[in-house]
Amino acid sequence: MKSPQVINLLEDSVMAFDGTNVIDDDSQLPIDSFESMQIKLELIDLMTGADLTIEAPMAYHGPSKHWTVDLADLALMLVDRHKYIGSVVDNNPDTQNMRSFQLSEFAIDNDSFEQTWMRLPYQIEIGGGEAWMYWYDDIANFGNPANRKFKAQSYMGGSGTTFATSPDKVTHRGPIVEV
């Protein structure tokens, strides 16, 4: 798709779905019988081909007949400058009776890579004559090397050639790259 819907995780607060046309059908309970339900967003990252499943609550707003998912529940899983497609699936079909529906292509564009990684938890590791900063996808995965999102070499002084010898001596970093 040339012009997918663009979501800015720094400015937008929710993803919204039309409750009447997209979710409601004859086989489910009346649409206004729920205030919220647990769903799974089953996504495909079109840039990497990777499958991604995110569980989140979806809230119903009666007057507008729309359902919304807070982007704060998705922000750490979605990658800036990536495109996604997928579907929304009821996480508990025995109690809610919602049918699955498809998500059209959408893209994440946060305008500033700097603002994206600044929100992530990070750690400075020093050893073997080198110093590195690592950013993690989630505070729950902090310190687990398998969950590192970005890395950069850490320097002290002003030359960009002397690795920092302790976290309090880091004065600048090298280029940030995805792990």
Closest of 130, 114, 10 to residue 71, by C-alpha? 10
Share of the chain above pLDDT 90, in %: 29
Q: What does the pLDDT read at residue 29? A: 57
| Span 149-159, pLDDT tens digits | 889 999 998 77
The pTM of this model reads 0.58
pLDDT the model gives residue 1: 40
* CA within 13 Å, CB half, 164: 20
CATH number of 5-113: 2.60.40
pLDDT at residue 90 greater than cutoff 70: yes
Q: Which residues contact 70 (CB under 8 A, 6 or more apart)?
A: 13, 14, 56, 57, 59
Residue 177, judged by CB atoms within 10 A of its CB (0-12, 13-18, 19+), counts as exposed
Among residues 23, 69, 18, 76, which one has the least CA distance to residue 52? 76
pLDDT confidence bin for 17, thresholds 50/70/90: confident
Confirm if 19 and 31 have CB atoms less than 8 A apart. yes
Cα 71 from Cα 97, distance rounded (Å): 24
Domain ranges for the chain: 5-113, 120-178
Structure tokens given for 41:
């967003």
What pLDDT was estimated at residue 83? Answer: 92
Between strands 5-7 and 14-18, the pairing is: unpaired
- Would you state the pLDDT for residue 30? 58
Taking the C-alpha atoms of residue 176 and residue 105, their distance in angstroms, rounded to an integer, is: 28
List the single range of 66-70, 71-75, 85-89 with lowest mean pLDDT.
71-75
The average pLDDT across 135-151 equals 85
